[in-house]
Amino acid sequence: MPDWSYLRALHRAAPRIADLFAADPARADRFSVKTADLMLDYSKTALDDTARAGLVALCDAGGVAERREAMFTGAPINETEGRAVLHTALRNLDGGSVLVDGADVMPGIRDTLARMRGFCDAVRTGAAMGVGGPFTDVINIGIGGSDLGPAMAVAALAPYHDGPRCHFVSNVDGAHIADTLRGLDPTTTLVIVASKTFTTVETMTNARTARDWMQTGGGDPERQFAAVSSAPGATAEFGIMPENVFGFQDWVGGRYSVWGPVGLSLMLAIGPAGFDAFLRGAQAMDRHFRSADFADNMPVILALVGLWHNQVCGYATRAVLPYDQRLSRLPAYLQQLEMESNGKSVAMDGSALTGPSGPVVWGEPGTNGQHAFYQLIHQGTAVVPCEFMVAAQGHEAALAHHHRLLVANCLAQSEALMRGRSLRQARAMLAGRGLSDPELDRQARHRVFPGNRPSVTLIYPKLTPFVLGQIVALYEHRVFVEGVILGINSFDQWGVELGKELATSLGPVVDGSESAAGKDGSTAALVDYVHRHGGGA
Ligand SMILES: O=P(O)(O)OC[C@H]1O[C@H](O)[C@H](O)[C@@H](O)[C@@H]1O
């Protein structure tokens, strides 16, 4: 673990952010990173040259460059599972070979991508059909990494949809699949069962329900089911035809898997060319990440800003606030990417972390959040570093005035967070209203904004497939760099296992075939309530 004390001392002595701008007219330029398309402005943070240099030094001390090279070249850096980490190979479209245990993985990746393209072309042109005719709808059944990536990206790229409608079912709550199936035609619906392991209870339960629905409604699961998985034996056992199965290897983590077959629903929605552009965007970010100096490296800087706020300043959460309605699922996607990757308590060698690991990540699109939780962001006692995102241009040319308002709101929020409003300013606002001085003072105190609240803004030209690919890869590499500096394994997720085990053992208790004896009093009382109110068997 790095020694944070030096940086913490810098933080305690840091001037107000607004004063940093006053002292350095070129600050916005010097504290932003640009790639060919994107700009990450981190000038509205308390970082100065000294603090930035101290953070960059963490990269050297933590071996970020060596670890980065190890990841890209297929070394088994996921040490607790003995696996390579090669989601970057999935978008290594025209790069060289990538060796895992001496064998090049690229031919297999290219072959699967070609099969996905062929499948999507057939579905999209009507060459492959359901019993009732060309496919009108696609349901992706998956959860976690087998859901959030394609669900996020399909929503993000709505202007590029020219294929069948895509739906996503993840929750084992029967409400999710029931509400989705209502109104769909079982003879023209394609179901993709997406599960790396093909054992996930939620996904297998939903897949069986969808199969029953299709059979009952006159569809043909043999023709109308596809699978995405690393477990071909299990897909065959479920009855999915091998030509409709798209495999990937265990060196693609679930939450990093949207770039391969897990992205099949996205490819169906936007077409193979659009999917290619998405991959090329990620590849462009990979190249930037691999080659740019740390101080000019967008994922590295985003990581260092994250570490500064969480580990140095002690801000326990960060809000991701896309001013882009089509990125409404991005906060949920990033919650898995960031919190499942870096929400750990032990370092790679098993020793306990001595400080915080990854922060709580949360958020909602703007402007909606402004009318809900921004009150706390502006005036609450906890400081929440904000990560704003906005496009220079929207897709709706006829609604450019909407977009101008959206941009103005986004920029206004980061400005307001930084500037705040002093008591003197608040008193001046209320002067002349005939209030007694104590009353004026009391009213003014409620209108004070502390300011000096940090934010970064990621700005991009327009939310195209190429730009989305860059944004998602940017966040993947940010998580990687934070994990390396914290000394943790960002690629396992042991913390999700215990709940799964207990759910399995609670199944027979909930359905009444086993007693709750031996369970704690709370669990037993909750089961009892379910049974007394018509639940259970
Ligand atoms: O793709 P699957 O094997 O069905 O896994 C789906 C998800 O469930 C697991 O519990 C993990 O927490 C996730 O990382 C994973 O993405």
pLDDT in tens, 127-161: 999 999 999 999 999 999 999 999 999 999 999 99
Q: Which two tokens stand for residue 306?
A: 């994250």
CB atoms within 10 A of CB 9: 12
24 pLDDT above the threshold of 80: yes
Q: Given this model, what pLDDT does residue 95 score?
A: 84
Q: How far is it, in rounded angstroms, from Cα 285 to Cα 35?
A: 8
State the residue for tokens 């088994």: 76
Mean pLDDT across the chain? 97
458 pLDDT above the threshold of 90: yes
What phi, psi does 412 have (nearest 5°)? -65, -35
Q: Given this model, what pLDDT does residue 2 score?
A: 79
Q: Given this model, what pLDDT does residue 94 score?
A: 86
Q: How far is it, in rounded angstroms, from Cα 227 to Cα 242?
A: 9
What average pLDDT does the segment 3-9 reach? 94
Residue nearest (by alpha carbon) to ligand 1 atom 9: 144
Percent of the chain past pLDDT 70, that is, above it, reads 100
CB atoms within 10 A of CB 362: 18
State pLDDT tens for residues 354-378.
Answer: 888 999 999 999 999 999 999 999 9
Pocket test for ligand 1, best of 87, 140, 146, 335 (most atoms within 8 A of CB): 146
Is position 344 annotated as part of the catalytic site?
A: no
Is position 222 annotated as part of the catalytic site?
A: no
Centroid of ligand 1 to alpha carbon of 267 (angstroms): 21
What average pLDDT does the segment 434-440 reach? 97
What average pLDDT does the segment 390-412 reach? 98
What confidence tier does 536 reach under pLDDT thresholds 50, 70, 90? confident
Report which ligand 1 atom has the smallest distance to the Cα of 229.
1
What average pLDDT does the segment 30-51 reach? 97
Helix 106-125 and helix 264-291: axis angle, to 10°? Answer: 140
80-109: b (≥16 Cβ within 10 Å) or e: ebebbbbbbbbbbeeeeebebeeeebbeeb
Q: How far is it, in rounded angstroms, from Cα 371 to Cα 367?
A: 7
What average pLDDT does the segment 502-525 reach? 93
Please, are residues 471 and 389 in contact by the beta-carbon 8 Å criterion?
A: yes
481: number of CA atoms within 13 Å, CB side? 29
CA 444 from centre of chain: 40
What confidence tier does 331 reach under pLDDT thresholds 50, 70, 90? very high
Q: Given this model, what pLDDT does residue 355 score?
A: 87
Residue nearest (by alpha carbon) to ligand 1 atom 16: 145
State pLDDT tens for residues 262-307.
Answer: 999 999 999 999 999 999 999 999 999 999 999 999 999 999 999 9
What average pLDDT does the segment 427-447 reach? 97
What average pLDDT does the segment 157-180 reach? 98
What average pLDDT does the segment 36-50 reach? 97
Q: Given this model, what pLDDT does residue 537 score?
A: 77
12 pLDDT above the threshold of 90: yes
Q: Given this model, what pLDDT does residue 3 score?
A: 82
Is position 340 annotated as part of the catalytic site?
A: yes
DSSP H or E stretch at residue 477: helix 465-486
State pLDDT tens for residues 82-94.
Answer: 999 999 999 999 8
SS3 453: coil
User: Which of the following is catalytic: 202, 338, 340, 364?
Assistant: 340
Q: Is 57 exposed, middle or buried (0-12, 13-18, 19+ CB in 10 A)?
A: middle
Q: Which two tokens stand for residue 109?
A: 């990746």
pTM for the whole structure: 0.97
State pLDDT tens for residues 67-114.
Answer: 999 999 999 999 999 999 999 999 999 889 999 999 999 999 999 999
State the residue for tokens 């019993």: 131
Centroid of ligand 1 to alpha carbon of 488 (angstroms): 20
State the residue for tokens 């608040």: 426
CB atoms within 10 A of CB 132: 17
State pLDDT tens for residues 216-245.
Answer: 999 999 999 999 999 999 999 999 999 999
Q: Given this model, what pLDDT does residue 416 score?
A: 98
Report which ligand 1 atom has the smallest distance to the Cα of 493.
12
Residue nearest (by alpha carbon) to ligand 1 atom 10: 496
Q: How far is it, in rounded angstroms, from Cα 386 to Cα 103?
A: 43
Name every protein residue with a CB atom under 6 angstroms from any ligand 1 atom: 143-146, 195-197, 200, 203, 254-255, 340, 493, 496
Residue nearest (by alpha carbon) to ligand 1 atom 12: 496
SS3 25: coil
What confidence tier does 450 reach under pLDDT thresholds 50, 70, 90? very high
State the residue for tokens 């603090």: 51
Q: How far is it, in rounded angstroms, from Cα 44 to Cα 38?
A: 17
Q: Given this model, what pLDDT does residue 453 score?
A: 98
| Residues facing residue 421 across a β-bridge | 449
Helix 264-291 and helix 64-72: axis angle, to 10°? Answer: 140
